[in-house]
């Protein structure tokens, strides 16, 4: 990766084994390998809060269903999937044992079934939030600033977000005996 004539170029050398090429820019399963946990939490809060929460249908639904906490669930699942934690039961366990998770769930953890249901019903929203987080982490890690990511990198990050949701779904299926 280098800048040439003011433009960013990301290149993979062909004389390097493919396994070593992918290691250079591979997104880690646990983003805390790249980003401090406090920074990661702040970014997740920013991503979730930047969504349009003023939709009249959503506002009405939240008014009539006060126990439904979509912001909390979204922050919690984005954090878990960004840290490589996929199984619903493990996410809930972390809400009791890990200060970072506890701070997000406000000492009121959801049930594993609620986690799985929220993921199933909000896959697109979760994927979009993960993508925004991954883009920010990638740009920070490689000091890209406001530079647009090349289409291939963006596609890679989109696939990474989708893969994490697929892994979570599969782990929950395995845990429930399906």
In tens, the pLDDT along 77-104 reads 999 999 999 999 999 999 999 999 999 9
Rounded distance, CA 130 to CA 126, Å?
6
1 inside domain: no
Mean pLDDT of 97-113: 93
Q: Which domain holds residue 145?
A: 31-176
37 inside domain: yes
pTM of the full structure: 0.84
Q: What residues contact 59, with CB distance under 8 A and at least 6 apart?
A: 53
11 inside domain: no
97 inside domain: yes
12 inside domain: no
Q: What is the dihedral of CA 141, 100, 122, 135, to 10 degrees?
A: -10
109 inside domain: yes
169 inside domain: yes
18 inside domain: no
Number of domains into which the chain is organized: 1
pLDDT band per the 50, 70, 90 thresholds, residue 13: very low
């Amino acid at each position: 990766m280098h800048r040439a004539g003011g433009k960013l170029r990301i290149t993979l050398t062909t004389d390097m084994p493919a396994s070593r090429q992918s290691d250079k820019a591979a997104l880690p399963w646990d983003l805390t390998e790249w980003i401090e946990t406090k920074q990661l939490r702040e970014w997740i809060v920013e991503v979730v809060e930047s969504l349009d929460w003023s939709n009249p249908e959503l506002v009405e639904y939240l008014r009539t269903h006060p126990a439904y906490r979509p912001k909390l669930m979204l922050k919690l699942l984005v954090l878990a999937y960004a840290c490589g934690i996929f199984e619903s039961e493990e996410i809930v366990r972390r809400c009791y044992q890990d200060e970072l998770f506890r701070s997000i769930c406000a000492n009121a953890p959801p049930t594993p079934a609620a986690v799985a249901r929220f993921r199933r019903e909000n896959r697109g929203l979760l994927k979009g939030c993960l993508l925004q987080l991954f883009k920010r982490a990638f740009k920070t890690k490689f000091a890209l600033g406001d530079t647009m990511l090349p289409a291939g990198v963006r596609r890679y990050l989109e696939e990474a977000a989708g893969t994490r949701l697929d892994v979570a779904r599969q782990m929950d299926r395995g845990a429930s005996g399906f």
